[in-house]
Structure 1
Amino acid sequence: MKFAIALFSSPHAPSSRRALRFAQAALAGGHEIVRLFFYQDGVHSASSSVVSAQDEVDWPREWREFVQTQQLDAVVCIAAALRRGVLNVDEAQRYSRTAATLDAPWELSGLGQLHEATQLADRLVCFGGP
């Protein structure tokens, strides 16, 4: 089965952990992930500026390593990211900000990527949200 996964909640929310574990289990079960889409507060899972307490799991690092290791298509909603200060180098320069907080393996793009993912996948699975 082909899955598209959308994450709407912040990195330390239980739904973010469930999303990562679901994605890992899906791949381990022989399924395919056509795209991970990070939206709303989920964009913080892609931010390199999130710092976890020493006695906690660093969920943004876990997501980054998972995406890199599995070579997944991981898209961060550009509108949600900009509102939350999650910027790649190009956007940091465009808006005259001093630092970028988003780098590889993440891609900034629009909601069209989520729509396309739903067309390519057999199932869209969403985690978190209002």
Structure 2
Amino acid sequence: MKFAITLLAGPQDPAARSALEFARAVIESGHQITRLFFYRDAVQIASHLGVQPQDEQDISLQWREFIAAEQLDAVVCIAAALRRGVLNEPEAARWKKPVANTGAPYDLSGLGQWVDALQTADRAITFGT
């Protein structure tokens, strides 16, 4: 079965962990994830600049490692990212910002990527509100 997963919850929201655990279970069960789409506050998960207290797990790092290890298609909504200061190198240059704070394994793109994922998936799952 092919799953498209969208995450709306930021890194502090328990839904971010639930989504990661679900995604891991999908892969472990032999199913496929056609696309992960990070939207609204979830775009903050793609930032490489967040720092977690030593007694907390780094959900952003865990997502990044999972996506890279499984070679998943992970798209960050560009409009939501720009509003929240999550920029890759081309966008940082475009907006004349001094630093980029996201990159591989994430791609910044539009909401059309989510619509495209819905066309190829058997199931669409959303985490967060």
Common topology (TM > 0.5):
yes
Partner of 1:16: 16
Partner amino acid, structure 1, of 2:98: T
Partner amino acid, structure 2, of 1:83: R
**SS at structure 2 position matched to 1:12:** coil
Where does the alignment leave 5 or more consecutive residues of structure 2 unmatched?
Answer: none
Where does the alignment leave 5 or more consecutive residues of structure 1 unmatched?
Answer: none
* TM-score computed with the length of structure 1 as normaliser: 0.98
* TM-score computed with the length of structure 2 as normaliser: 0.99
CA deviations 1:39-59 (Å, max 9, x no partner) are 000001111011111110000
Partner of 2:30: 30
Which consecutive aligned stretches of 4+ in structure 1 deviate over 2 angstroms post-superposition? none
Report the Cα distance in structure 2 between the residues aligned to 1:38 and 1:109, rounded to whole angstroms: 10
Partner of 1:68: 68
* Aligned pairs for 1:33-48 within 5 A: 33-48=33-48
Aligned CA RMSD, in angstroms, stands at: 0.5
CA deviations 1:68-107 (Å, max 9, x no partner) are 0000000000000000000000000110111101111100
* Aligned pairs for 1:1-130 within 5 A: 1-129=1-129
Report the Cα distance in structure 2 between the residues aligned to 1:68 and 1:29, rounded to whole angstroms: 18
Count the aligned residue pairs: 129
Report the Cα distance in structure 2 between the residues aligned to 1:71 and 1:125, rounded to whole angstroms: 19
Deviation at 1:11, TM superposition (A): 1.0
**SS at structure 2 position matched to 1:67:** helix
Partner amino acid, structure 1, of 2:53: A
Report the Cα distance in structure 2 between the residues aligned to 1:113 and 1:47, rounded to whole angstroms: 20
Percent identical pairs in the alignment equals 56
